[in-house]
Amino acid sequence: PAADRVVAAMRHGALEGGKRLRPLLVRQAAAIFSLPPSASLLTGLAVEMVHCYSLIHDDLPAMDDDDLRRGRPTVHKAFDEASAILAGDALLTHAFAVLGDTSCHPDPAVRIRLVTELALGSGAGGMVGGQMRDIEGEKGGFSEGEISIMQAMKTGALIRASVRMGAILGGADPRALSAMTAYAEAAGRAFQLADDILDVTATPEAMGKATGKDAEAGKQTLVSKLGIDGARKVLNDTVNEAILALRTFGPKADGLRATAKYFASREK
């Protein structure tokens, strides 16, 4: 049986708050292919477990050293550092057990594709590698192009995986999957840019976490390079790019379109 303390730490880091953006993207992508919400629930859950693990570890003193997440103490503050590390490890590991179960999808070939997609999006060539680049950038500085690569990995890779996993569940053909991937990559850029703008403009109370951390840590973002107005223009252009990528899908893609538009107007 699982140790009670690690389960409590996992629950603290994964439940109570959060936008649940990534499982929403899985659901909205699957809906284009007429899948009911129940058919994408477990896939969305697996992606969110990976996301929550990454937040628990990002908040640790060795990483971003944050005391607040979603308006509550971070896991290492509510428990301790060892419990936070193990809770993140357990969430990451269990995500793949969820995808491998027959209740996720009856076809083992589809389950293998889902596992591979999530592993690629969250590993050294995706989210983890992006986090490493972010840490390196604090020391050496970044060009605009390097910032874009880092953010495409750190934030964009899991958003890309979420959309593609929804499309894989729906049995998307290569052309449809390519269009959805183009949407996801633009949406990932838009989400991160909105986050960087809010780090400068929003209050900690609205965000449920510390703000101004990028400037304090000397991190270079597109906002620091372009200014707020320049960044907002790029954000609007990027949202339009995401919406344009869905032009062949008709009304069934309205959910994904609405999510991209939300990035341009979000306040937390």
Listed in order, strand segments (DSSP E) in the chain are: 68-69, 72-73
Cβ 231 vs Cβ 196: under 8 Å: yes
| Residue ranges of domains in the chain, CATH in brackets | 1-172 (1.10.600.10), 173-267 (no CATH)
Other CB atoms within 10 Å distance of the CB of residue 247:
10
pLDDT at position 226 is: 84
pLDDT at position 218 is: 61
The Cα 242–Cα 147 span in angstroms is 19
Q: How confident is the prediction along the chain (268 residues), in pLDDT tens digits per residue?
A: 789 999 999 999 999 888 999 999 999 999 999 999 999 999 999 999 999 999 999 999 999 999 999 989 999 999 999 999 999 999 999 999 999 999 999 999 999 999 999 999 999 999 999 999 988 887 767 788 888 899 899 999 999 999 999 999 999 999 999 999 999 999 999 999 998 898 888 778 776 777 766 666 666 777 888 889 999 999 999 999 999 999 999 999 999 999 999 988 887 7
The Cα 155–Cα 173 span in angstroms is 26
pLDDT at position 216 is: 64
Give this prediction's pTM.
0.92
Residue with tokens 């991160």: 192
Amino acid at the residue 70: R
CB within 8 Å of 165: residues ≥ 6 apart: 26, 29, 43, 47, 114, 117, 118
pLDDT at position 214 is: 65
**Residue 263, SS3?**
helix
- Cα 74 to chain center, whole Å? 18
The Cα 120–Cα 114 span in angstroms is 10
